[in-house]
A and B are shown apart, each in its own frame.
Chain A
Amino acid sequence: MTVRKKRFILALIGLVLSALYLFPFYIMIINSFKTRRELFLDTLGLPDTLYFDNFVLAWERLNFPRAFLNSLLISTGSIILIIVFSAMAGWKLERTKTGTSTFIFYFFISAMLIPFQSVMLPLIRLMGKMNFLNMPGLIFMYLGFGSSFSIFLYHGFIKSVPRSLDEAAIIDGCNDWKLFWHIIFPVMKPISVTVAILNATWIWNDYLLPSLVINKEKTHTIPLRVFFFFGEYTKQWNLAMAGLILAIIPVILFYFFSQRHIIRSFVEGSIK
Chain B
Amino acid sequence: MRRSWVSFWLFVGPCLTAFIIVVIIPLLFGIYYSFTNWNGINAEVDFIGLSNYAKLLKDVHFAKSFVFTVKFTLFSVFFINLIGFLLALLVTRGLKISNFLRTIFFMPNLIGGIILGFIWQFIFTGAFGALGEYTGLKFLMGWLSTTQTSFQALLILMIWQLSGYVMVIYIAAIQGIPRELIEAAEIDGAGSWMKVKNIVLPMVRPAFTVSLFLTLSNSFKLYDQNLSLTAGGPARSTEMLAMNIYNTAFSFMKMGEAQAKAVIFLIIVGFFTLSQVYVSKRGEVEM
* Range of interface residues on A (Cβ < 8 Å): 35 or more
Contacts known (A21-B105, A126-B29, A267-B168); A115 close to B269, Cβ less than 8 A: yes
Interface 1/0 per residue, B98-139 and A, CB below 8 Å: 001111111111111111001110110011011100100000
> Which A residues from 81 to 101 make CB contacts under 8 A with B?
85-86, 88-89, 91-93, 96, 101
Question: Within 8 Å of chain B (Cβ to Cβ): is A162?
Answer: no
Contact of B12 among A14, A104, A113, A143 (CB under 8 A): A104
Q: Which one of A47-55, A186-194, A244-252 contacts B?
A: A244-252
* Range of interface residues on B (Cβ < 8 Å): 35 or more
Point out the residues of chain B lying under 8 angstroms from A27, CB to CB: 122-123, 126-127
A residues sitting closer than 8 Å to B (CB atoms) are: 7, 10-11, 13-15, 17-18, 21-24, 27-28, 31, 39, 42-44, 85-86, 88-89, 91-93, 96, 101, 104, 108, 111, 113-123, 125-126, 140-141, 143-145, 147-148, 151, 175-177, 180, 201, 204-208, 222-223, 226-227, 230, 237, 240-241, 244, 247-248, 251-252, 254-255, 259, 262-263, 266-267, 270-271
Q: Which one of B48-56, B195-203, B220-228 contacts A?
A: B220-228
Whether B114 lies near A237 (C-beta < 8 A) is no
Point out the residues of chain A lying under 8 angstroms from B10, CB to CB: 176
| Cα distance, A121 to B214, chains bound together (Å) | 25
Contacts known (A14-B90, A17-B87, A143-B18); A121 close to B8, Cβ less than 8 A: no
Contact of B107 among A148, A208, A252 (CB under 8 A): A252
> Mostly helix, strand, loop or mixed at chain A's interface?
helix
| Cα distance, A176 to B130, chains bound together (Å) | 65
CB distance from B166 to the nearest CB of A (A): 9
Whether B101 lies near A92 (C-beta < 8 A) is no
Question: Within 8 Å of chain A (Cβ to Cβ): is B172?
Answer: yes
Point out the residues of chain B lying under 8 angstroms from A255, CB to CB: 107, 110
Contacts known (A10-B95, A44-B130, A96-B8); A244 close to B115, Cβ less than 8 A: yes
Whether B11 lies near A92 (C-beta < 8 A) is yes
Question: Within 8 Å of chain A (Cβ to Cβ): is B85?
Answer: no
| Cα distance, A114 to B18, chains bound together (Å) | 16
Whether B129 lies near A43 (C-beta < 8 A) is yes
Whether B90 lies near A24 (C-beta < 8 A) is no
Q: Which one of B58-66, B177-185, B241-249 contacts A?
A: B241-249
| Cα distance, A31 to B16, chains bound together (Å) | 48
Whether B22 lies near A123 (C-beta < 8 A) is yes
CB closest chain-B residue, reference A205: B112
Q: Given A21-B107, A248-B115, A251-B110, 15 more contacts at CB 8 Å?
A: A14-B90, A14-B101, A18-B105, A21-B164, A42-B130, A88-B14, A111-B19, A114-B266, A118-B266, A207-B227, A226-B115, A226-B118, A252-B107, A266-B165, A267-B168
Q: Which of A96, A116, A122, A206 has the most CB of B within 10 A?
A: A122
Whether B104 lies near A118 (C-beta < 8 A) is no
CB closest chain-B residue, reference A262: B110
Whether A89 lies near B122 (C-beta < 8 A) is no
Whether B122 lies near A237 (C-beta < 8 A) is yes
| Cα distance, A81 to B14, chains bound together (Å) | 9
Whether A121 lies near B259 (C-beta < 8 A) is yes
Question: Within 8 Å of chain A (Cβ to Cβ): is B287?
Answer: no
Contacts known (A122-B33, A244-B119); A86 close to B242, Cβ less than 8 A: no
Contacts known (A11-B97, A21-B108, A145-B22); A121 close to B265, Cβ less than 8 A: no
Contacts known (A27-B122, A117-B265); A11 close to B96, Cβ less than 8 A: yes
| Cα distance, A176 to B5, chains bound together (Å) | 11
Interface 1/0 per residue, B240-263 and A, CB below 8 Å: 011001100100000100110011
